[in-house]
Structure 1
Amino acid sequence: MRKLIFNYVQTHKSEILNEWIGQMKQDADERAVYTMSAQMFKKTSSEFIELLISNFTETEQEFQSKLTGFAEKIVRLGWPLTVVTLGLRTFGQIVTEGMQEKEVVAQHNFIEFSVEFERWMFPLYNTIIDSYANTWERTVSLQKIALQELSAPLIPVFDKISVMPLVGTIDTERAKLIMENLLEGVVSHRSEVVLIDITGVPVVDTMVAHHIIQAADAVRLVGAKCMIVGIRPEIAQTIVTLGIDLNQVITTSTLKKGIEEALEMTERKIIEVEGE
Structure 2
Amino acid sequence: MRRHAFAGAAAVLLLAAASASAEEPPLRTAVDGTFAPHAMPSLSGGYEGFNIDLANEIAKRLHRRITIDAAQYSGLLPALQAGTYDFIAAPTTVTKERAENLLFTEGYLNTDFQFLIKKGAPKVEKLEDLKGKVVAVNKGSAYDSWARDLEPKIGWKVESFGTQTDAVQAVLAGRADANVAGNTAIAWAAKNNPQLELSYYYSTGLVWAAPLRKDSTELRKQLENAIECMKLDATIAKMHKRWFGIDPQPGSAAVTVFPGYGVPNMQGYDPTEHTPKCD
In which range does the TM-score fall when normalised by the shorter chain? under 0.3
The structure that has the greater radius of gyration is 1
Larger proportion of helix = 1
Larger proportion of strand = 2
Q: TM-score, normalised by structure 2?
A: 0.24
Q: TM-score, normalised by structure 1?
A: 0.24
Could you say which structure has the greater relative contact order, defined with CA pairs below 8 angstroms and 6 or more residues apart? 2
